[in-house]
Structure 1
Amino acid sequence: MPDTGLMQPQAEQTTQRNEILDAFRNALAPLGGSQTLEDRLQALTQAQRDMLLSTARMVQMAMAFKVAAGDYSMGYADLVAQMYGRMDIAKQQLIAELLDETAPLGFEPSPKPPRTDTAISIYDRPEMQVAPKEPQQTKAGFLERLTQSESSGDNNAEINIADGRRYVGALQFGDARLQDYQAATDTSFTQDEFKANSALQDKVAAWHIADIDKTIDGLGINTDGYDRDGLRAVAHLGGKGGMKKFVQSAGKYNPSDELGTSLQDYYDKFAIQS
């Protein structure tokens, strides 16, 4: 005898609702819909897990320093975003969720009140602005925008990637680029010394952009049609050689860094829209 009782249509309707809700969960949730944290971690490769663990440890250590200093202004999610602003948002959220699960904080974050002082940012001071070949192409405050993207303005930011390379400071400089600066200026310091010296970070930042500008100018007419700030951002992410290849290939040379950000991504982010 067919099941035509009153309960059958209701069961079908409930199932239908659940399927629709699950579809929306999967479509809207950036970390894999209804998957558990364990499921998402299981889906990672070993290299991805190692990277995740290394990054999570750095965030946990930074949080410990903040708490020891009496700073309870942010939770893991905000701290991850501050330290690793270029990282894909889904990866940021996965790291924050992992830390919330394994090392929960014993306090509710209390954001600091906004600053009301009118001091000029170091990156907006006249002496920090590098004169471009064509001034109308360069937006004032490029360094500040770049700093916010790289570290949210945190001079103490640091990231270690899977191959062992380390990037530190407000602009996330690797050792190779710091060695370029030292060779050009006949100076000597370690990455740790650089990270601890905000004045030195400012000097290297100004030199870094001026050095990139020389390379852009050296490309001549090849850069016609390109935005200078966009090319500066490409060179910061992929090196001066990478920026040259990006221009000379009309954007076909477009690798991504370890966090999934491509040269074109950074060009689009910083290019001034007319």
Structure 2
Amino acid sequence: MRKKIAKFSILPLAAGSIFFSFSTKDAAKINLENYSTANLDLDYTVEDLKAEIEPDFHISHAAPFLGKSYVGFKEAVAFKESQGNYKNINEYGYLGKYQFGKGTLKLLGIYDTVEFLESPALQEAAFYANASRNKWILQRDIKRFDGKTINGVKVTESGILAAAHLAGPGSVKKYLRSWGAQAFSDAFGTSIRNYMKRFQGYDVSYIKAEKNARVDFDRL
């Protein structure tokens, strides 16, 4: 006797899970034990769909479903710095998810590096405080250069703040005011231009400029 298999569709969800939508109520009651692939010669070849999917879902980004928000910005920076690892210490002694140097941490009021590595909340607060401080220092340059093109890269506020996280606000000022002539690269060869390009176009209006931004431990 021929068994009739009802049609169904498979719908991808944003979170990466699969949702089965059966065309009939009876189809949902199918007893899968009655069907078997035993003794069949199965040879499946799945086409690489990355080129088709990537333009729509931006799967090359660190946080593909966070968009261009502040959270998307900080998670993208974190992925570049440490692949998002709160306990990472690189060969040059930079610490945590966002790879802070000890000198920068002291400016933010953080002196215990062991506590820093053990506290995700402290690291997130440090990232915001540092970005807030850098935004205050660079506010005139953000206003002047936002939308301009330097060394073939469009300058944006988020690109400037990311570059300041990499190189410090002073180096970013020199880069911008020299129209890219005074460049900077870190020990791994990563440049200000690279960060300007990689992190351009995020909405970082959530970050408020503050002159002496420090971590508020009472709010952790």
State the TM-score, normalized to the length of structure 2.
Answer: 0.54
Aligned equivalent of 1:201, options 123, 139, 164: 123
Kindly provide the amino acid, as one letter, of the partner of residue 169 in structure 2: K
Provide structure 1 residue ranges, at least 5 long, that are not aligned to the other structure: 1-120, 125-137, 183-187
Once the two structures are TM-superposed, the CA of residue 259 in structure 1 deviates from its matched residue by 0.6
Aligned equivalent of 2:96, options 169, 180, 191: 169
Matches for 1:54-203 after TM superposition, within 5 Å: 139-140=69-70, 141-161=72-92, 166-182=93-109, 188-203=110-125
d(CA) in 2 for partners of 1:249, 1:139:
30
Kindly provide the amino acid, as one letter, of the partner of residue 125 in structure 2: K
Partner in structure 1 of residue 136 of structure 2: 214
Aligned equivalent of 2:182, options 225, 244, 253: 253
1:164-222 deviations in whole A, cap 9, x for unaligned?
xx10100000001101101xxxxx53222211111111111111111121122133643
Moved over 3 A (4+): none
User: Would the alpha carbon gap of residues 258 and 272 (structure 1) be closer, same or farther in structure 2, given more than 3 Å must change?
Assistant: same
User: Would the alpha carbon gap of residues 139 and 249 (structure 1) be closer, same or farther in structure 2, given more than 3 Å must change?
Assistant: farther
d(CA) in 2 for partners of 1:173, 1:157:
10
Answer yes or no: is the 8 Å Cα contact 2:95–2:117 preserved in 1. yes
Q: Which structure's residues are more often helix, by fraction?
A: 1
User: Would the alpha carbon gap of residues 249 and 268 (structure 1) be closer, same or farther in structure 2, given more than 3 Å must change?
Assistant: same
Once the two structures are TM-superposed, the CA of residue 237 in structure 1 deviates from its matched residue by 0.8
Partner in structure 1 of residue 160 of structure 2: 231
Kindly provide the amino acid, as one letter, of the partner of residue 190 in structure 1: D
Kindly provide the amino acid, as one letter, of the partner of residue 174 in structure 1: G
d(CA) in 2 for partners of 1:227, 1:142:
13
Answer yes or no: is the 8 Å Cα contact 2:146–2:157 preserved in 1. no
d(CA) in 2 for partners of 1:203, 1:240:
19
d(CA) in 2 for partners of 1:207, 1:157:
20
Q: Secondary structure at the match of 1:158?
A: coil
Kindly provide the amino acid, as one letter, of the partner of residue 163 in structure 2: V
Provide structure 2 residue ranges, at least 5 long, that are not aligned to the other structure: 1-62, 148-154, 203-220
d(CA) in 1 for partners of 2:197, 2:181:
14
User: Would the alpha carbon gap of residues 257 and 152 (structure 1) be closer, same or farther in structure 2, given more than 3 Å must change?
Assistant: same
| Number of residue-to-residue matches in the alignment | 129
d(CA) in 2 for partners of 1:238, 1:222:
20
Partner in structure 2 of residue 19 of structure 1: none
Answer yes or no: is the 8 Å Cα contact 2:142–2:160 preserved in 1. no
Once the two structures are TM-superposed, the CA of residue 268 in structure 1 deviates from its matched residue by 1.1
1:7-29 deviations in whole A, cap 9, x for unaligned?
xxxxxxxxxxxxxxxxxxxxxxx
d(CA) in 1 for partners of 2:116, 2:157:
27
CA RMSD for the aligned pairs?
Answer: 2.1
Kindly provide the amino acid, as one letter, of the partner of residue 238 in structure 1: A
1:39-72 deviations in whole A, cap 9, x for unaligned?
xxxxxxxxxxxxxxxxxxxxxxxxxxxxxxxxxx
State the TM-score, normalized to the length of structure 1.
Answer: 0.44
